[in-house]
Homo-oligomer: A and B are copies of this chain.
Amino acid sequence: MNGKTLSPVDWSLVRAFLAVADTGSLSGAARRTGVSQPTLGRQVRQLEAALGQRLFDRQPRGLAPTDTARALIEPARRMQAAMSEIELTAAGRQTELSGPVRITASDMVALHVLPPILAELHTAEPGITVDLVASNASENLLFRESDIAVRMYRPRQLDLVARHLGDAELGMFAARRYLDRAGRPRSVADLGQHSMIGYDRSEEIIRGMQARGLAATHDWFALRCDSHPVYWALVRAGCGIGFGQATLGRADPAIEEIDLGLDLPVLPVWLATHRSLRQTPRIARVWDALAAGLAPWLS
């Protein structure tokens, strides 16, 4: 285990090293980077040979970093940061009103709100291609995993430009079909007799209800689902009463709003991008399209 040659080390191996160190396994790193697992394994081995040091202990559950690897993570991160700066600086200096733009949005927004906005944008600017990442995980704008993010909270990362577009109201909804069958609740107390749809792992509805004086627990719900789009499909299918964005529910003829005077929280909607990209023509164009297109959904 010693570098027998004194040849320069391929910088791209460090990227593989970081991905493996971050995820703790070759397979995980492969999923995250899009590079295949055998390739990552070979690259790690190659880096170990080049540095003359074992970097990971191969274990059944993954690769555990050695002391040496731990010592190398910090400079590797600096490399990554510098690489990001290169990409962002270069992208920020682009002047064409065309090219790819990657947008991150929650799966709910991506599924129900963005498609018409992007359709219109594509008609107006056919040169701009959009990569839409529907994910509730916050992609890292600093590493250019995304160019523009639509978020339901105030972004707090450094070097970001963020704009508060407005607030998305929440409402309580059920399918007309369901209400015709199960009856329309007239008070908060009536809810106890209804099928409520909730989340499985997330506790947000439960906490919200409890804060409003309802004795909600995990078992209070007849049906639970963690996927927002599927959750919403359950509501539309008449599985019971659920919560969702007010604009979405009110625009849906199959659905009826249930107003019991609860003051439901509102979700702030933010647009965010990296400071280097804000003035880039095609990014600015998409930014404006999103801001304009989202406005009718917000209050």
Contact = CB atoms under 8 A, between A and B. Distances in A.
Interface string A62-93: 00000110011001101101110111011101
Contact of A87 (B51, B67, B98): B51
Interface residues of A, number: 44
B9 A87 contact: yes
Copies of the protein in its oligomer: 2
A184 interface: no
A131 B79 contact: no
B99 A86 contact: no
Contact of A91 (B34, B52, B87): B52
A86 B91 contact: no
B78 A2 contact: no
Contacts of A33: 8
Given A6-B102, A12-B12, A79-B82, A71 B52 contact: no
A231 to B, nearest CB: 30
A96 B52 CA distance: 10
Contact of A6 (B75, B83, B100): B100
